[in-house]
Amino acid sequence: MAPRSGGGAYFEQFGPPWTKHPCTDASKKYSPFNTEGQPKLRNRRSEYERDGWLPLFVRNIEPLAIGALVHAVTLDDPTVLHFGLATELEIDSGRPIYFRRLDALPILAEFNFFPKSALEPVTIRVFLPCLTEVELRIHLTE
Q: In this structure, is residue 9 part of a structural domain? A: no
Q: In this structure, is residue 58 part of a structural domain? A: yes
Q: Nearest CA to 106 among 83, 132, 128, 85?
A: 128
Percent of the chain with pLDDT over 90: 6
| Contact (CB, 8 A) for 131 and 82 | yes
- The pLDDT of residue 141 is above 70: yes
| Contact (CB, 8 A) for 135 and 117 | no
Structural domains of the chain, count: 1
pLDDT digits (tens, 9 = 90+) for 21-37: 777 666 666 676 777 77
pLDDT digits (tens, 9 = 90+) for 67-76: 889 999 987 7
Q: In this structure, is residue 41 part of a structural domain? A: no
Cα angle, residue 34 at apex, residues 76 and 36 outer, rounded to 5°:
80
pLDDT digits (tens, 9 = 90+) for 95-129: 888 889 888 666 889 989 888 888 888 898 898 88
Q: What are phi and psi of 134, to 5 degrees?
A: -60, -45
Q: In this structure, is residue 18 part of a structural domain? A: no
